[in-house]
């Protein structure tokens, strides 16, 4: 990691925890324990990472105390000059880092970012023309009949997104999610044979369905996407292309994904989280072409609660870090390590969805090991290996038990593990899976062969000791 964990950072954390401890010792204890747990586990959750002390410390301040609904220079509260500075600096870094004309750094999470984006697209493409047609400038000027007609139109727009079992996110139109209810939704999947995105099939589905919004992006698809092709499909059917790059924003920032694989020049609206491969604080952000900027700017208070100025401060720090050359090296290592992990798993007989990876994650089908994803996830955790179970395409075990394990490289790459270490990680994962068996017909209960947890724990401890988390940080 870029930052140097000096005595200064240690002193800052010690002092902060002492102050917390004086009021509620259990919170100070849980915070210390979380550091110990994170230091001691092989964290392979594809959506997690470790932020730098500069990012973490930026969040612990009185910026948290300020209400600042609205946006830079246009707030619903007085005295927001310092929040304006914070938000401006964060947005400037975001624009520069991603080469975007407009950035909005207020969303509290990726889901919030997607909700603001949907709202902004509806407001721009449906509500504004609806108002104009009724001769109004604002919804409050509409007659009740015109407002009901507009509400009906707004509530019947179409969204086409990647299905959950193909790797899409809940917010991409999954029916139980609000995105599946606020839109007339349809999903696209992957080719049943190759498990890869089939752009021809997607184009055909888009032609037939004619969505207002085409969503690209994923949470569990182990491949890159051609966003130029996505934009061509969107343009052909008159859709707005929205890309959710939450998982791979770090690879975009680090210029591992460039050209057609960089969503920002191709999408109308790009959303992301800031805490995954981007290695910032928990939060979201939105990039957009100017046509959507005004509507996105009204995200708070129309969709979001008041901005978290302390988190926007940390986003600014993280985005500044991501603009350094070292972040590009990190991002390349994330991708190289994922490839090494995939090769190591394949060499040891595992089946990977799509046969491999070219991003930061692999999706391991555990069926051949005779267990469900749930059993695999639990057995790996017993051995100190933290992953999460994940559905695979057409998963016979559904989204709860699943048949897959999602394994990602951003966090351990931040600790300094390289390709040789990720090959060792592959060996440990396969060791656990080969030694796990289901208990009876249960999809959750399992038995781990004697000695496995101890053996894998010891090997993981060696890898972790050689690559310490926050080296030099003592509490
Ligand atoms: N929870 C995130 C993930 O793990 O991919 C997505 O919301």
Domain that holds residue 387: 333-466
| Domain's final residue, options 323, 346, 375 | 323
Instruction: Evaluate whether residue 53 is within a structural domain.
Output: no
Residues 148, 193, single domain; the answer is yes
* Nearest ligand 1 atom, CA 110: 7
Tell me whether residue 282 is one of the annotated catalytic residues.
yes
**Which pLDDT tens digit goes with each residue over 128-162?**
999 999 999 999 999 999 999 999 999 999 999 99
Instruction: Evaluate whether residue 56 is within a structural domain.
Output: no
* Nearest ligand 1 atom, CA 45: 4
Spell out the alpha helix ranges (H) of 176-266: 178-182, 199-209, 227-237, 249-253
Instruction: Evaluate whether residue 43 is within a structural domain.
Output: no
Residues 300, 337, single domain; the answer is no
Going by alpha carbons, the residue nearest to atom 3 of ligand 1 is 47
Residues 296, 420, single domain; the answer is no
pTM to 2 decimal places: 0.96
Q: Is pLDDT at 266 greater than 50 in this prediction?
A: yes
Residues 169, 305, single domain; the answer is yes
| Domain's final residue, options 323, 346, 372 | 323
Residues 162, 97, single domain; the answer is yes
Instruction: Judge if the beta carbon of residue 219 lies within 6 A of ligand 1.
Output: yes
Report the pLDDT averaged over residues 89-109.
98
93 annotated as ligand-binding: no
Instruction: Evaluate whether residue 128 is within a structural domain.
Output: yes
Of 69, 232, 291, 358, catalytic: 69
Residues 302, 363, single domain; the answer is no
**Which pLDDT tens digit goes with each residue over 39-54?**
999 999 999 999 999 9
Q: Is pLDDT at 64 greater than 50 in this prediction?
A: yes
Span from the CA of 389 to the centroid of ligand 1 (angstroms): 12
**Does the CA dihedral 398-403-404-405 come out positive or negative?**
positive
Instruction: Judge if the beta carbon of residue 47 lies within 6 A of ligand 1.
Output: yes
Long-range contacts of 436-442 (CB under 8 A, 24+ apart): 436/369, 436/371, 436/375, 436/376, 436/379, 437/370, 437/371, 438/370, 438/371, 438/372, 438/375
pLDDT, residue 371, reads 98
Tell me whether residue 224 is one of the annotated catalytic residues.
no
**Which pLDDT tens digit goes with each residue over 172-220?**
999 999 999 999 999 999 999 999 999 999 999 999 999 999 999 999 9
**Mean pLDDT in the chain?**
96
| Domain's final residue, options 291, 323, 355 | 323
pLDDT, residue 1, reads 47
Task: Work out how many domains the chain is built from and give that number.
Answer: 2
Residues 143, 244, single domain; the answer is yes
Of 14, 151, 282, 339, catalytic: 282
* Nearest ligand 1 atom, CA 48: 4
pLDDT band with cut points at 50, 70 and 90 for residue 2: very low
**Which pLDDT tens digit goes with each residue over 419-474?**
999 999 999 999 999 999 999 999 999 999 999 999 999 999 999 999 999 988 88
Residues 150, 262, single domain; the answer is yes
């Amino acid at each position: 990691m870029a930052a140097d964990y000096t005595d200064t950072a240690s002193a800052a954390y010690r002092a902060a925890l002492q102050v917390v401890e004086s009021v509620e010792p259990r919170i100070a204890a849980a915070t210390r324990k979380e550091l110990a747990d994170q230091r001691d586990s092989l964290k392979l959750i594809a959506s997690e990472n470790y932020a730098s002390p500069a990012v973490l410390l930026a969040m612990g301040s009185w910026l948290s105390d300020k209400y600042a609904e609205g946006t830079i220079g246009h707030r619903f509260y007085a005295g927001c000059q310092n929040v304006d500075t914070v938000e401006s600096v964060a947005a400037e870094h975001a624009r520069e880092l991603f080469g975007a004309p407009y950035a909005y750094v207020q969303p509290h999470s990726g889901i919030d970012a997607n909700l603001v984006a949907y709202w902004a697209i509806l407001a721009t493409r449906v509500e504004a023309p609806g108002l104009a047609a009724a001769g109004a400038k604002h919804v409050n000027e509409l007659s009740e009949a015109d407002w009901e007609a507009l509400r009906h139109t707004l509530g019947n727009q179409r969204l086409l997104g990647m299905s959950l079992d193909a790797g899409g996110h809940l917010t991409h139109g999954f029916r139980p999610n609000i995105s599946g209810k606020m839109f007339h939704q349809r999903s696209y999947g992957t080719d049943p044979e190759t498990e890869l995105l089939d752009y021809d099939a997607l184009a055909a589905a888009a032609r037939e369905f004619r969505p207002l919004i085409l969503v690209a992006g994923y949470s569990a698809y182990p491949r890159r996407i051609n966003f130029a092709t996505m934009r061509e499909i969107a343009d052909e059917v008159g859709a707005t292309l929205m890309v959710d790059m939450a998982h791979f924003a770090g690879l975009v920032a680090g210029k591992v994904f460039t050209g057609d694989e960089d969503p920002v020049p191709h999408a109308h609206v790009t959303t992301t989280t800031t805490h995954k491969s981007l290695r910032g604080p928990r939060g979201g952000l939105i990039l957009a072409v100017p046509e959507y900027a005004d509507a996105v700017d009204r995200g708070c208070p129309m969709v979001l609660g008041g901005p978290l100025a302390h988190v926007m401060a940390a986003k600014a720090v993280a985005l500044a870090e991501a603009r350094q050359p070292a972040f590009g090296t990190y991002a390349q290592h994330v991708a190289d390590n994922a490839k090494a992990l995939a090769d190591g798993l394949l060499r040891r007989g595992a089946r990977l969805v799509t046969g491999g990876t070219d991003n930061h994650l692999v999706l391991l089908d555990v069926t051949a090991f005779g267990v469900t994803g749930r059993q695999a996830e639990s057995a790996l955790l017993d051995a100190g290996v933290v992953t999460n179970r994940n559905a695979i395409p057409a998963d016979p075990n559904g989204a709860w038990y699943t048949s897959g394990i999602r394994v990602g490289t951003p966090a351990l790459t931040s600790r300094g593990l390289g390709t040789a270490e990720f090959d060792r990680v592959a060996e440990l994962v396969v060791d656990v899976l080969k030694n796990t068996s289901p208990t009876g017909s249960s999809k959750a209960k399992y038995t781990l062969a004697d000695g496995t947890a101890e053996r894998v724990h010891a090997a993981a401890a060696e890898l972790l000791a050689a690559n310490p988390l926050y080296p030099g940080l003592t509490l």
